[in-house]
Chain A
Amino acid sequence: KQEVTQIPAALSVPEGENLVLNCSFTDSAIYNLQWFRQDPGKGLTSLLLIQSSQREQTSGRLNASLDKSSGRSTLYIAASQPGDSATYLCAVILGGATNKLIFGTGTLLAVQP
């Protein structure tokens, strides 16, 4: 059974700091991995999608990497801002015909001004 773990569960950093969020998964037979952002009381917004054949994806100040063999992904946020405060979730999509997204429990990020 695929399990997705995110560490740390919560993180507080001062504004301007670079930070790394971690995601690990137990079964390397994934099709892709996505990072999402969730603001309180809101739905999820997809930030980055990495296909299994890719090593990383970048969007603005965000960079996500994927190492399938070790079952790990990281989300790097450069020059953090208070507006980055949210819960960040990673999810893997299983191979085959199911298209199921399996989520980690998230990292709650607070960027202090």
Chain B
Amino acid sequence: IAGITQAPTSQILAAGRRMTLRCTQDMRHNAMYWYRQDLGLGLRLIHYSNTAGTTGKGEVPDGYSVSRANTDDFPLTLASAVPSQTSVYFCASSVTGGKGKAFFGQGTRLTVV
């Protein structure tokens, strides 16, 4: 089934630990995004990539890093997790130029304790 796959679905993580959230799409979309969703704050953009090999910072990039080695994969890394990074994380993709709909994964629920 075409779409976006995120892993893991949920995770409890000790503060200070490093973690990578995985995101893979099979639609050959050039643009990919990472958002976090928090109650009362909505969806906020963490990082984005317009094409393989390039990345950019979103609204809340601190404490997160991304890489885009190929078209399909866009992992998000928390170098040293803190409790304020407890959130639901969504990966999304779209064609570039804003011409097409954005497709979202099912999310990763992360709790940092």
Contact = CB atoms under 8 A, between A and B. Distances in A.
Binding between chains A and B: yes
A45 B104 contact: yes
A interface, size bucket: 20 to 34
Interface string A50-61: 010000000000
Contacts of B105: 43
Nearest to A97: B50
Interface of B: 31, 33, 35, 40-45, 48, 50, 56, 58, 90, 92, 94, 96-107
Interface of A: 31-32, 34, 36, 42-46, 49, 51, 89, 91, 93, 95, 97-106
A49 B40 contact: no
A89 B42 CA distance: 9
Given A49-B100, A91-B43, A100-B48, 12 more contacts: A31-B98, A32-B98, A43-B90, A43-B107, A44-B102, A46-B102, A46-B104, A95-B98, A99-B31, A101-B102, A105-B40, A105-B42
A95 B97 CA distance: 8
Nearest to A31: B98
A24 B107 CA distance: 26
A42 B56 contact: no
Nearest to A1: B59
Nearest to B96: A99
The winner among A44, A45, A99, A104 for most chain B CB atoms within 10 A is: A99
